[in-house]
Amino acid sequence: MGVLPFLFFFLGLVGQLVRLGVVSGKELIVDSTLLKAWYRDDPDATWQKYGGKKALFGYKVHTVLCHRSDLPVFVWVTAAQVHDCQVGWLILLFAAFWYAFRVRIVYADAAYFAAKRFKIIHTVLHAHAAIQYNLRRAGKRKLATLFFLEQWQRLVTAN
């Protein structure tokens, strides 16, 4: 049967939860996680290695969650080497428009920190971005500025 019947069932189920008010979509979380392949000869799985962690052969599960209910509103699976920001923004926009969410805040980790991502959130979704910043991108001795810390605190505590 393939994946489409399951996808449509999932979309319908989430749609019902939106209609019942269980899922609001006002605050969304975008993230991903690695999923180990069931067997080593899986033709669609790939290798992924992060920093000092052990390499993993498998897939990456990209997810958009409703912050209030902690329930997923959309999920997409890719090969393990696909970077978070390549898929995360597409599924975020899809979920927001599919369910007609009025998003206020988008939470994400440092993998999504880029000017293009902020622009998408502000201009397309008319929402605020609460995206972590990895200070090591600017060098290991870089410190967070007071301005950055105030902005981050304001976005994270805005409800």
Q: Using one digit for the tens of pLDDT, what is the confidence trace for 80-89?
A: 999 888 898 8
Distance of alpha carbon 64 from alpha carbon 125, whole angstroms:
14
Q: Are strands 56-66 and 71-79 parallel, antiparallel or unpaired?
A: antiparallel
Q: Is the Cα dihedral 89, 94, 95, 97 positive or negative? A: positive
Q: What is the CA radius of gyration of the chain?
A: 17
User: CA–CA separation, 146 vs 130, rounded Å?
Assistant: 16
Kindly report the pTM of this predicted structure.
0.81
- Please give the DSSP secondary-structure letter assigned to residue 145: -
Task: Report the pLDDT value the prediction gives residue 31, as an integer from 0 to 100.
Answer: 93
**Residue ranges of the chain with per-residue pLDDT less than 70:** 1, 134-144, 148, 151-152, 155-159
